Amino acid sequence: MHIELMTDGGADIPKRLIDEADIKVVPLYLHFKGQEYKAGVDIDLETFYQKMAEADELPRSAAPSPNDFYEAYKQADPEKPIIMLSLSKGLSGTYDNAVMGKNMLLEEEPERPIEIINSKTASCGLALLLHEAKTKIDENYSFTQLVDHLHERTEQTSTLFVLKTLENLIRGGRLDRVKGTIAKTLNIKPLMQASDEGTIEVTEKVRGEKKSIRRFIEQIGEYTKNFEDKVIAMSHCNAEGRAGKVLAEIKEKYPFKDAYLIEMGPLIATYAGEGGLVISFFND
């Protein structure tokens, strides 16, 4: 491939896409009770889920440093321009660190074409954008054409979330404990989405598991049409069976051209909690 695609640990990407597009991932850091790990390097997903289940408190995550990004850029083929699709700036300092790493590279190689794109999404949303990037590279898009196209596509990406449990939001301080306890008692399931600014906002509160999944699926048809031309990506938090069933219902209702099913990485899983689902698709 004539363009180097990169992303960070906020992305959840299927292995087949990583292999096909030769995507380089700059990992994030996880902290469990004074121990630091590089996600996907020092700790695998199975161990992460086990540690999270056993821990009294949720792990803390930290963005790759500017130097981490710089080192990753330096390892890329110097003949290839680089496109780094970053976790939403609205969720993390990752994007800013990726830009600082780029500036460090340009001090040494001022002519090097490199673009850092704020994806305004996370998890499988980044997989969707990387799939799009690979498709356009295969169509011989130039670096400039692909950069322009991906900036457009970030504005056309819908990312929706549904949670099975509120436990991790409460433990992580993202939801007031009293309100969370009331919501759990009433069996409230929040539906969320990535906002236009790339933050995560609650759009609806639905009572009951079945209703929340039904509404989760219904929303797709409210956001987009022409499914035959589109790909849908779904990530799940340690719930492959649940996710597969929901994805099958989605495909039965909407004839997407292709679908990716991906296990959620540590960053999003920490807040989504067991059974959490994320879907991404283009809404144009």
Alpha carbon 250 to chain centroid distance? 19
Structure confidence by residue, pLDDT tens digits, 156-175: 999 998 887 655 554 555 44
What pLDDT sits at residue 1? 67
Residue 24: the pLDDT is: 96
Residue 119: give its domain's CATH number.
Answer: 3.40.50.10440
CA distance 221 to 33: 43
Distance CA 177, CA 183 (A): 10
pLDDT digits (tens, 9 = 90+) for 36-68: 999 888 888 888 888 877 877 778 889 999 999
Residues 187 and 251 in one domain: yes
Tell me the whole-structure pTM to 2 decimals: 0.92
Is 43 domain-assigned?
A: no
Confidence class for position 129, pLDDT limits 50, 70, 90: very high
Asked if residue 211 belongs to a domain, the reply is yes
Q: Please identify, among 132, 155, 178, the residue that sits at the C-terminal boundary of a domain.
A: 155
* 106 & 179 share domain: no
Are 215 and 137 part of one and the same domain?
no
Looking at 155, 173, 206, the residue that finishes a domain is 155
What proportion of the chain, given as a percentage, has pLDDT over 70?
Answer: 91
Q: How many structural domains are present in the chain?
A: 2
Query: Is the confidence at residue 217, as pLDDT, over 80?
Result: yes
Write down the pLDDT at residue 187. Answer: 63
- Say if residue 147 is in the same domain as residue 236: no
**Ramachandran sector of residue 226 (left: φ over 0; alpha: ψ -120 to 50; beta: rest):** left
Q: Domain with 188 in it: what CATH number?
A: 3.30.1180.10
Confidence band for 119, pLDDT divided at 50, 70 and 90: very high
Residue 45 located in a structural domain: no
Q: Write the pLDDT tens digit of every residue in 75-90.
A: 999 999 999 999 999 9
Residue that is last in its domain, among 155, 182, 215: 155
| Residue-range definition of the domain harbouring residue 123 | 4-28+63-155
Residue 33, in any domain of the structure: no
